[in-house]
Structure formats: structure tokens, C-alpha cells
Structure 1
Amino acid sequence: MSVLFRCTSTLAQGVNLPIRYLVVSSTFQAGQEISTRDFHNLIGRAGRAGYHTEGSVIFADTDVFDKRNNFHERWRWQRAMHLLDFTNTEDCASSLLDLISPFDFTELNVDAIQFIANPAGYRQSCIDVGNQNAIGISSLLDQMGYKEALIEAIESYFLSYLKDNPNAPQTFFDDLAQGTLAYFLSDYDQKQKLRAAFSFIASRVLSVPEDKRQFFGKSLLGLKNLFLIENWLDENWSEVAQAQSSNELLVICWPLLFQLNNNKMLLKIKPENVILDFTKLWISGSSYTDLRSYLDQSGAYYQAGSQRRNIKMDHVVDLADGALSFDSMLYVGAIADVAEGKGLDGDLLELLRSLQTRLKLGLSNSLEIWLYSQGYVDREVCKTLGSVLNGQGVNSDVFDYDILKTYHQVVSECISKFPSYFSG
């Protein structure tokens, strides 16, 4: 039996899955060119001893080969050849070294450690100096954004650790820095910078009151966004408390979610006002085809630099599965964590958790979500099966967990129309 798996390059590298064919749809990973080392990890999945003694790597973009002799387009072919050459493999490295590495920007005198000490203040001072001297600093701001993402990841880990280890010794963070791969790979100067970076980040985390660490540490966010969420909840508590459904909560929380979410696809779909209605359709269970039709009918477009491009299905999938199902779901979860820590009413907390799950799965009611949790991990299968069970009198919000046994024959007939995977 032949089985087709489609997954991200990151997942493919981490799963010990022997395959016959590796289909490479793009040599870009998260907006950046995939490294030669990562690519070789990928092709290591194809052709494994004991399974397939040979494996094939297929570049799905036909332009790679067809335009290999075109002066302006041959870069794709050259890039593919570069990736296939094992002599081009990069040295083993650590992303923590990117945190302390100097900024690649010569127009201003900028210091990475000073930025780590006070990201928001240092960024604003650079913006002010750039405006005063008519210096474009967009590339510098991009680099700061990357470093800040690393800072937030470290803050999140520190918060999580302190949540479970409130009596951790003061030396823990310095010992942690000295135990990293980055520290092992560093020279003396880099080692001192790494320890200083961890010290600055630890100081900010330790300044958080202990009672807040208990719910801050549950989320995967950094301090800046957590304090933003907390302040927003304080200012909008009465409005949040009046919400009667997860749909209402979505509308109330949307300005905050849009402010928190830096997903590139979310920011490139214009006009911005179509995204909220797109999200409403997503959590109501609309198909990807219907979602694309909505964007087309709304006059939406993809902003690529100065160009306006037509919406493609890839844009729809990235917006739904990335910006909403992952990023926005994560932020709603953080809102729920902070709200729970601040004593939000249990029913409202349940609505927030419901919104979080609906954003993650793109499903509209408790029955469909429950079916997903039972192993029917496909939106269309859950929607169809839910509709069939509704026809048998099953309520979408209140139902018996034995319904799959009770309506076994009906369920089997419904599932038989889908791939056999769902009948197992």
C-alpha cells in the first residue's frame, strides 16, 4: 500500500520515517532559504537500509529545471545544485549565538547587549535617531525583531521554570547559560556576552511578582506580550465579562489579537478589515474553497512589497493554518491563562478555551471538536459526521460520549465515503 505524507520540513527532519520519494515544494523555510545542513537531514529520510535501498529527491517546482539556462531565472537551479552538494554543509551552530551577534548595520552605532537589556527602549531610541538623521533603519528593525523573538523564547522558559521551581537559586540562570551549546561553541568574549544576556533577561523575569509567575509561566509568550494582555484585560474587563459566546469574545478580543499577531501572512492580506470576517468563517467550519471565495469577493489581495497580487489557495491555507490555527490560538490561550490567574468567571473562561480550540481546529461546535479528539483528525470528516449525527437527533452541544457506539452503523456508512484511514 502506498501512503502519501505531507508535512513541514521541520517535522520531516525529526521523524524517523523511511520514504521512497522526497518531494521538495520549496527551498525556503519560514521565509528564509533552507540551510544545506537541514536539507541534508531531509534527504536522509529517502532511501533507508531495510526499507527502500534507493530514494529520490524531486523538486516540484518545474521552473528549477525548465529555466536553468535563463540568465534571470537560473538561480533556482544553482540553488538546488548547491543544496545537493554535501561539501556545502554549514558548521554546527546555535541560535543563541544570533542573540549576541553584532547587528549587521553600519549607519548607526548599535550594540546587541544594550538592546537585550532594554529591547523596547533601545529600539525607540534607534527609531528617533534614524528619523532625526533621515536614516532608513528597516533592516535594523528586522534584525531587532529576530533577536526579540529569541529573547521572548528565553523569557518564556525562565517563567515556566520559576513557576515550577519558585525557590530556584540565583545562580541557576548563569549556570544555564554556561551549559548551552552556544557557550561551548563561543570564544571568551562571546561567553561573557552570553552570560550578560542571560543575566539581563533573568533580571526582568525575576522582577515579576511571584503570584503572576504562576499564570505567566503557563503561556509561551514573553514578558512584553504578557503585560500587554494583562493591561488589556484590566481595561476591557467589563466588556469581556458580558460576552455570551465565543463568537462575541472573538470580536471583543480581535483588536488585541491583531496587535499581538506578527504572522507575515496576516499582515500581508489587505485590506485588514477582511481578516476578522475570514476568522469568523474559519471557526464556523467553512472550507478552504469557501474561505478563498470570500477573500476574492471581498476584493482582498496579497501585498508583496509594492505589488498587489491575487489571492492563491496557498495564502488561504497559510492564513488559516498558520496565523489563526497556530498563532492566534496561542494568543487566545495566553489571554485565558492570564484571565484565569486574575480570577475570571469560570463560564467566561470556558468560552475563551472554546474559542482557542475552535481557532486551532476551524470547527464550529462541541460535537465536531469532540469527534476530532476521537481520532477523526480532518475538518471535513468531522463536519460531515457531525451533520449525520445531528440528523439522528444528536445535539451539537450536549451529547452522550457513547454516540459512536450507539450509532455505529450510521457512523460506519458515513466514514466509508472517506479514505480507509478514518475507518481503522
Structure 2
Amino acid sequence: MRATLQHWINDADSVRHLRFFSIAQTPIQLARITNRPEDYYISLVGELFRSMDADASRDDWAQLGNAFLQFSIETSDEQLRQHGIAREEATLYAAASFYFGDYPASACLAMRRGARPSENQSLQAACYDFLARPPVLESEFALAVRESLRAGDMPRLARMTESTRLAERRALQEGPGPWIAAKLLHRLLTSFNRSHVRAVLPDGNLEFWQPLVASLLDRQPSTWEFFPSQIDAIHGGLLASVDSYSLQMPTGAGKTTLCETLLYWHLKRTPQDVAILLVPYRSLASELRGTLVRRLNAVGIAARCAYGGTVPSGEEIHALADVQAVVATPEALSGLLGADPDFASRIGLVICDEGHLLDGGERGIGLELLLARLKARQARHTRFVFMSAIVPNIEQINGWLGGTNETVVRSSYRPAIAEFAVLRPVGDGVRMEIGLEMHPHEALERRFSIDGFLARRDFSYPNPETGRLRTHPFAPIKTQAIATARKVLPMGATAIFAANKRGAQGAIGIAETLVDQLHLPLPLPRPIDFARLDTVQKSVAYLELEYGSDWVGTAALRNGVALHHGDIPQETREVLEGLVRALDVKLVICTSTLAEGVNLPIRTLVLYSVQRRGTTGQEAMLARDIKNLVGRAGRAGANTKGLVICANPDQWQFVEPVARQSAGEAVEGSLRKLVEAITHFLARGNLPLTNEFLEANPPIYPLIDGVDATLIELLSDEMGEAQFVAMAQDLAAQTFAAQQLSAASTAHLRAVFALRAGWLVALRREGKIGWARATGARARWIDSVESGLLPRRPNWSIEADPLSDDVRLALFEWAWTLPELRQPVKRAFRLDANVDVKTVKEQFFEIATLWMRGSQYREIADHVGMPMDDLLGVCTQGISYALQTIVEQGVSLLEKKLERDGNVLAEGVRTFPDHLRFGLPNAAARLLAASGLRHRRACIQLGIALQAQPVVGPTQVRTDALASLQAHADAWRTHLGELVYQNTLSDLSSQ
């Protein structure tokens, strides 16, 4: 792009930001933009046609598209008429520029901003329908393109391309208007022929692809082509090869559609196989359940999700023999592998998404050992596809999984470009002004600054008593970050990110400060003015019922702001995510939980802090984690670009490497770090490595539990101990850690595998190995269940109410004996290191009991006298994961023990884990939750309404619940609230 036009685009962008931010005075050097718009527009048009015949970069095309789009959207009709510019023409140029730069999602978004040409069969209408992809195509040309794709009729597309070339030549005789439309259409179709789905897929014209292509075409907006990142992967052999691959693709670059294509290709060709998509978080699995899983089932691939817990639910293991694709968390997949050996033997493809979480502490250790477990199976070849946006040493990981340097695909393509900015304060006190420095990491010709972005005027308001102006203190960076987010709201959905959850500098503290700030009549945009009030009010009523009107999350949403962090229950997080996804709310305050795979249309991301509180003070986030985070700004199909604003100039040093696309930190794996720590500890104390040492140190539990789970699958009845120990040591070499460790640490890793192998052989001699294999439970707990849990009731076969003290206290007291519960509870209550966790034991049990009895969060908080945010931490960290995991595994092992002894576990005990998991007081409520109802409150109240009827099974309970909702609609609306009522009605009607 010419330097003069680059400066002009920068200046126009600066003027645009001044308008968005309501800065009245335009600097004199920017006057040419407002005084000579026609010259600017002519220059843009000239650059468009020059670039069509040159080799323009994607970045230049994106800048050109945004410049045209800005012109078409923000210039008044009067100005356009005055200068003889047609708005529809500028919109078409914007969309075409995006398309020529390989940004089809932005092209669609831009084109939909314009009005459809009145003449359906004109060249302009053909361009409009081709780019905008409206639900109903009216142009015969666009219809022909779409149906050629559907049918795989490539010769027809070739004839149409030639026809547009001839039409372009003929149009030269007709005048500039027809020629421009013809030239654009020909260039659009020429570009399309390189990127459309049939052109990219192997043998894409075959009937084999028809169901997938139809699925892509029939969704909205319709998908006709692949992104460059997806094309690179497919052309790189992802589909055609049977080798393991690793893909490095930025956030939002189309990984989900690529996974869908890969799963389709693999399972349609080998329908007897099982393919696994591993995702790290329940939230992501839940999102994919409604998109990817639904689409796979629609094209004839039997797919389901598994993310409930470590012991698979009945729904998750039902008819596993018929399942072809499973989206699962690592914990859930481990349970499935043990529950059905035949299912495990059918796995031919494993896709590992967000693979950088190998460095994710305990979960990273579990993930690495799970992959090693799948990799080591001798029965059949398993193909791995490792995916991450932020792993610089991806070749190393790919080699570990069996790939080569030729099976690594890297792409830097983002469907919506990301821009960066940083706040720069000048002066102090009330005279301080904060500038917004745009593109601070780029070449000088791309940089510009919006001086006075924030100033005293933004924080001044009249004293209601005297009428004199007061100034709200604005020196704190938190205040500036909040004001920045409010000021950019006219540009689109905005997120304020905090690296911490709690404290004054955490997300909760930001929300409290924002709510307080909104009580003042500051001349800044109010988030509620950008929200859809009717929808928000329903969600506010939901939060008030669940958490009370005084909770900061409720107060924030009442003001048009969503508060999102990891302690908020999954059910509520999904409600809040739905509000942001639908743009019912356009400001969200979040921690990293919102960056962990959930796709939301965030236009601007304000980074309040990228430093976390650590054991030694403030610790900067890893560059790769910041990179993953900022990838959430600018979503394909929602924005043509995103903006990341660093609110703290002192922290720009941590963000700048990401803006410059630096590689970031290598992924080593948490397993390596743990084994190195073991080596160091043993050497320092001159200690031997024994099973007693391993089982006496809770930090090592993730290692030995993962090793046990891996080895149990391989231990056959006829295998001797020496052979099994040798196999275990060989298996240790299958881990990623083994490729990196020193000789001493490698020896310790092999020793851990050998020690656990010997221990498991002893367990086999006792006839107990099958207990862990069948349940997926931790083998290490078998002795504890036999000696610690079994004696707590005289007879576990005698029927009892699952909520009775007899059952509940026995299970709770046993669980408390395990450090895997006491340590998370200590963290959840945020106790100091020198405070004994026993001091909160009774309160924790009381909270868990109230939860199981169906009390709402606000009722529990009032009953135990605990602030809501503290209670949520206890429920999420202490109950929903730690206690639930221990109890469900303990009960499953107890059932196996009773089976061996010829006894049957009482039904009330067997179902106890589900009552704990869902927090429900009766069988009908439990069955409703297990069948997929998303709202706990609905399950509780419907369960109470139905408890007088005999519980036949989940199908009948759902039928009765739906009938009750429909027959007593007004009463249920009042009782549940409109949001929960409508969602529950939808849930019960959908299956």
C-alpha cells in the first residue's frame, strides 16, 4: 500500500475513534479527512483496482476493507449525495476487499450492512448474494454457485467463471458501472474457485462429501469456502494422510469446522472406528454439544458428549457400541476407557484441542498420561491430531505423538484482524490526560495517538446539592480501565480482563467499582443503554432468585454488565455467555475462564492486569496465555477486526511480544516439572523412591493415578510380573516428559512406572484389579474404601434415603479422611497455611447438605452466614469437583466390593453421587437433571411437584414434567421465572 494512502487511512481511523469517543475537537492535521472526503474515497477506489492487479498483502486488503466499511457506515446520506458517492457501492467495495484478502466472514458481515439491489438478476445483485449469503438467495447467479457446490458440479463452476470473464470484456463497451460490477464478480469467482469447500477437499466433487457440504451450505451464515488456515491444513495432508499431525492455528481460525471435517472424513471412511475430540473444559464440551455434536448426528455420525465426571453416567455409557464420535474432557474419557474395553479398542483417531494445557498442573499431568496411554496401545494404530494456538515447540510434541516435521501445519491467519493499543497518561492530578496510543508495536507510518482519550471532563459531574462540578478521582488504573471499557462500548461488545478473580484488583473488585461508578452521573456511556432490556431483566430476575439481589453479579447485570469467573456455577456461566453471545449484553468482566475456548463476539478487550498473585508476589502471565486471551478480540462473522487495549502502560512490556507475534514460551509439560521436583527432593534428602513415598505425598497423586490408569488397561490375566514391570518401564518412555528429562529424572520416571506395576500385580492377586478397571476409579482408593468406608454402615445393601444422615455422613466422613478433599476445601475457604482445615469441616458439611437438599445459593449463604462470593468458591472448588469426584469413585468401588461378596449396593447409595452432583433432593429431580435439563431450580421444583407419582424412568418423568409445565404455564412462570421456564420448556421439548 502506498505510504500516502496509509497515512490517510490512519488519519481517517483516528477521526473515526474521535467520533466514537465523543471527543468534540478534531486536531487541525486531521481536517483533510473531514474537508476532502471525496478525494479520500477516490484514493481508496484507485487502491482497490490497483491491488486487484498486484500482489497486495492480506493486511492491506483488510485495511482497505475496513476503510471502505467505515466510509459506507459513518458518512451521512447528505455528505454522500454532495460528493456523488453511492453508499451501496462503498459497501460492495468493502466486502470485495475483505474477500480478496481471504476474509470471507468479514466480507459477509460488511455486505450485509448494505441494501440489496432492487434488480435481482443484475451483476450487482449477484455480487450482493454471493458475498452476503442471505438466508434466501434471489440472484440466479448466486443460486447457481451454491447448487453447483451442493452437487459437486465443478464443470459448471468453470463455465460460470469463463462467462464472467467474457461479461467483463463486454461490459467495457457499456460503461464504467457495468464494467466495475462485472470485473468484481469475475475476480470474486476466480478467488472462490481456489477456496471453496469442494476445491479444497480431497476429491471434493465426489458424492461422498455431499452430506457435509450440504450441512455447511445450509447453516447461517452459509459456509461456502474454507479459511486459509483450514486450507493449509487440508492441503498439508490432514485428511489424506494417516499420520499424526499437529496444527498451530490462532484462536478463531476455524478449528471447530476443521475438526468437523476431519471427523466426517475419518468416520465415513472407517465407520467401525471411534474418534475422540478431547477438550479441556466442561464449558467447551457443553458448547460443542449444541453445535458440533448436533451437526455430526445430522450427517449420520453417531456422536455424543461426555463431561459429567470421572465415573461415567448411565447416559454416557449407554449403547457405546453404536457411538462413533465422542467429545470428552480427559477425566470423562478416562472413565469411558475403563467402563467399556471394546469401546477403547475401537479408537482410531484422537484430536487433542487446546493442547498447550499439557502445562496445566494436575490436569496437564493427567492429559499427558492419558495421551501416553492411548499412544501405547498395541492392538491398533491410533492417529493423533494435536491442536493449539500457542505452542512454539509444536514440532517436538508432534514428534512425541508419532508425527514428523512434514506433518506440522502452522498458520498465523486470523479471520478478523487484531489491533493493539495502550493507555498513556500525561500529567497528574485533575490535569491528567490519558491518551490512547494505537498500534504502538508497528512501523511509524501505522502508529497514531488519540490525545485526551480520557480526561477530567469524563469524570466530572454536578454536585446535586450545590450544582458545582465535582471530579471523580481517576488516577487509579482500575478507574481508567473501567472508563475505557465504557468509552469503547459504541464500537461493539467489550470485555474487561483481570488476571485475578478476587481482591480489589480482581474481576469481583472491578465489578464492585464499576457498579459504584455507575451510581455517579459521569458523562460516559452506560452499559445498560447498550443492552436489550427485556432479555436482561429476565436474567436479572434469575440471578436474584439464585444468588440474591445484593450479589455483585446481580448488581452488575442490573446495570448491563456480565460478571464471569470460575467460581460462578456452570449453569449460570452459560446463561451469561448466552447474553454476550446474542449481544443482549455488551460489557463483560472476566477472568481467564472466558478465554478458555468459549467463542464470544468480543470487539474490544481491555486488559486491566496481566499479572497474577503468586506465592512470591505478582507474577506476569505467560506470553502464550496472553496470546490465547487476546485471540478472543475480534470474532469471525461478528467483527471485521478486534482491538486489545492495555490499560496499564507498565504492563505493556508483557503484551508487546504478543502483539509482535513473538513465539512465547515452550510447552514442557507438568509431568516433567513434577518428576524433576521428585528427583531434586530425593537427592537432597538422600531418600529411596518407594511406593510408600509416592502415596505419602499428595502432590505426586496425579502422577501415580495417571500411571495406574494407564497400566491397568494393559495388565492381562496371563501376564507375569517381570514382563509387566518391563512393559511399564517401556511405557514410561512413551511420555513427553521422557524425551526431555535428564538421565537421573528419567530413571525416576521409569522407577515410578515399575513400582506402580508391581503394586498393581499385587492388587490383581487379591482379585481387585477389575474394580478400578471397570469403574475408572483411582486404584489407590481401593484399600481406603475397604478399610475406611465399608465399616461406616453395618449393611450397605439395606435400602436408605440418599439424603439420610445414615448415608450422607458415612460418605462425607470417609471423604474427609482423604487429602484430596481437605486440601481443596482449605483453598476454597482461603485459610492461611497455619490454620487447621478442621475448623471449617462442619461448615463445609453443612453447605454440602443444604446443597443436596435443594437450597438455593442465597438460602445457603444466609443460613451459614457467608458472603456469596466466598460460598460460590466453596461450592465450585470444594463440592462440585473435589467432593463429587471422591464420592462417585468411592461409591463405584464400594459397589464392586459388595458384588464380589455376593451383595448388592442399595439403590439410595448408588444414586447418592448424582444427588450430590446435581444438588437435588428426590429421584424425579435427579432423573430430570441427568436427562439434560440445564436449570437446577427447575429440576428441584418439578421434582417436588412429581414426587407423589411413581418414578418409572427418565422418559416418563420428562413427559410428566412437560405436561405440567404446559398445563400450568402461568403458575410455573411465576414460580420459576420467565428465563428458567422458557429454557426448561425448550429442554423438555427437544428430546
Does the pair score TM above 0.5? yes
1:71 aligned partner = none
Q: Structure 2: which amino acid aligns with 1:151?
A: I
2:750 corresponds to 1:201 = no
Matches within 5 A, 1:35-114: 35-55=622-642, 82=654, 85-86=657-658, 87=662, 89-102=664-677, 109-110=684-685, 114=688
> What TM-score, normalized to structure 2?
0.33
**Is 1:366 matched up with 2:949?**
no
> Contact 1:12/1:42 (CA < 8 Å) preserved in 2?
yes
Q: Give the superposition deviation at 1:94.
A: 1.3
Asked if the contact 1:162–1:213 (Cα under 8 Å) also holds between the matched residues in 2, the reply is: no
CA offsets 1:71-124 (integer angstroms, 9 cap, x no match): xxxxxx866863664358321111221232035988992368x34643268x5x
Contact (CA 8 Å) 1:257, 1:331: kept in 2 or not? yes
Distance 1:187 1:265, change over 3 A: closer
1:157 aligns with 2:710: yes
Q: Is the 8 A contact 1:385 1:411 kept in 2?
A: no
Q: Does 1:252 align with 2:784?
A: no
- Please list, as runs of the form range in 1=range in 2, the aligned pairs for 1:281-296 lying within 5 A after superposition: 281-296=850-865
C-alpha distance 111-12 of structure 1, shift in aligned 2 (>3 A): farther
1:376 corresponds to: 933
CA contact (8 A) 2:790 2:894 kept: no
**Matched residue SS, 2:763:** coil
| 1:268-279 mapped onto 2 (5 Å cutoff) | 269=829, 270-279=839-848
Greater mean alpha carbon deviation, residues 284-293 or residues 260-269: 260-269
CA distance 1:346–1:316, shift in 2 (3 Å): farther
Q: Which amino acid aligns with 1:380?
A: R
Q: Following the alignment from structure 1 to structure 2, what is the Cα–Cα distance between the partners of residues 340 and 51? A: 51
* Identical amino acids, percent of aligned pairs: 20
| Native 8 Å contact 2:797 2:904 kept in 1 | no
- The separation in 2 between residues aligned to 1:385 and 1:177, in whole angstroms, is 51
2:596 corresponds to? 13
Counterpart among 559, 567, 583 of residue 2 in structure 1: 583
Q: TM-score, normalised by structure 1?
A: 0.71
Partner of 1:215: 771
> Which of the residues 185, 189, 209 maps onto 2:740?
185
Specify the alignment match of 1:329 in structure 2: 884
Choose the corresponding residue for 1:146, options 688, 694, 699. Answer: 699
Q: Render the CA deviation track for 1:343-377: whole Å, top value 9, x for unaligned.
A: 26876442223210011111111121222234321
Letter in 1 for 2:930: S
> What SS does the aligned partner of 2:800 have?
coil
Distance 1:176 1:330, change over 3 A: same
Report the CA distance between 1:286 and its aligned residue: 0.6
Look up the match of 2:960. 403
1:381-417, Cα deviation, whole Å (9 max, x unpaired): 2223444x44xx8538567333145435237553671
Shift in Å at residue 340 of structure 1? 1.6
Contact 1:119/1:148 (8 A) holds in 2? no
- Contact 2:682/2:689 (<8 A) preserved: no
Measure how far apart 1:288 and its partner are. 0.8
Partner of 1:128: none
Query: Structure 1's 197 and 3: CA in aligned 2 closer, same or farther, altered over 3 A?
Result: farther
Partners of 1:107 and 1:95 in 2: how far apart?
18
CA contact (8 A) 1:82 1:88 kept: no
Residue identity in the other structure for 1:13: E
Whether the aligned pair in 2 keeps the contact of 1:151 and 1:201 (CA below 8 Å) is yes
Give the gaps of 5 or more residues in structure 1. 60-64, 69-76, 124-143, 297-310
The 8 Å contact of residues 884 and 916 in structure 2, kept in 1 or not, is answered as: yes
Residue 250 of structure 1: how far off its partner (Å): 0.6
1:200-231 Cα shifts (integer Å, max 9, x gaps) = 22222222125311112345554443311221
Q: What is the match of residue 875 of structure 2? A: 320
The AA in structure 2 aligned to 1:229 is V
2:543 corresponds to which residue? none
For these two proteins, the number of residue pairs brought into alignment is 367
CA RMSD of aligned residues (A): 4.0
Q: Is the Cα–Cα contact under 8 Å of residues 9 and 29 in structure 1 kept in the other structure?
A: no
Please say if residues 102 and 111 of structure 1, whose CA atoms lie closer than 8 Å, have aligned partners that are also in contact: no
Compared with structure 1, are the counterparts of its residues 189 and 232 closer, same or farther at alpha carbon in structure 2 (3 Å cutoff)? closer
Aligned to 1:343: 898
Task: Give the Cα separation in 2 of the matches to 1:342 and 1:54.
Answer: 59
Q: Is the 8 A contact 2:732 2:750 kept in 1?
A: yes
- Asked if 2 retains the 8 angstrom alpha-carbon contact of 1:37 and 1:89, the reply is yes
Q: Which runs of 5+ in 2 are unaligned?
A: 1-581, 830-838, 987-991
Task: For residue 238 of structure 1, report the CA deviation from its aligned partner.
Answer: 1.3
From 682, 685, 693, give the equivalent of 1:119: 693
| Aligned residue type for 1:356 | P
Mark the CA change 1:224 to 1:351 in structure 2 (over 3 Å): closer, same or farther: same
CA separation of 1:258/1:202 partners in 2, compared to 1, >3 Å: closer, same or farther? same
Q: Which has the larger radius of gyration?
A: 2
**Structure 2: how far apart are the matches of 1:110 and 1:323?**
34
Q: 1:331 to 1:11 in 2, by over 3 A?
A: farther
Letter in 2 for 1:410: A
Aligned partners of 1:367 and 1:396 also within 8 Å: no
Deviation at 1:280, TM superposition (A): 1.3
Q: 2:792 matched to which residue of 1?
A: 236
- Mapped to 2, the partners of 1:25 and 1:146 lie a distance apart of 33
Q: Is the 8 A contact 1:98 1:147 kept in 2?
A: no
Q: Which has the higher strand share?
A: 2
CA contact (8 A) 1:332 1:356 kept: yes
Counterpart for residue 175 of structure 1: 730
* CA displacement at 1:236 relative to structure 2: 3.2
* Alpha-carbon shift at residue 320 of structure 1 (Å): 1.8
Q: Assess, with a 3 A threshold, how the Cα gap between structure 1 residues 233 and 57 changes in structure 2: closer, same or farther.
A: same
Q: 1:186 to 1:216 in 2, by over 3 A?
A: same
Q: Deviations over 1:10-34 (max 9, x none)?
A: 785355x354166889969998876
C-alpha distance 31-394 of structure 1, shift in aligned 2 (>3 A):
farther
* Alpha-carbon separation, structure 1, partners of 2:816 and 2:656: 40
Cα drift, residue 180 of structure 1:
1.8
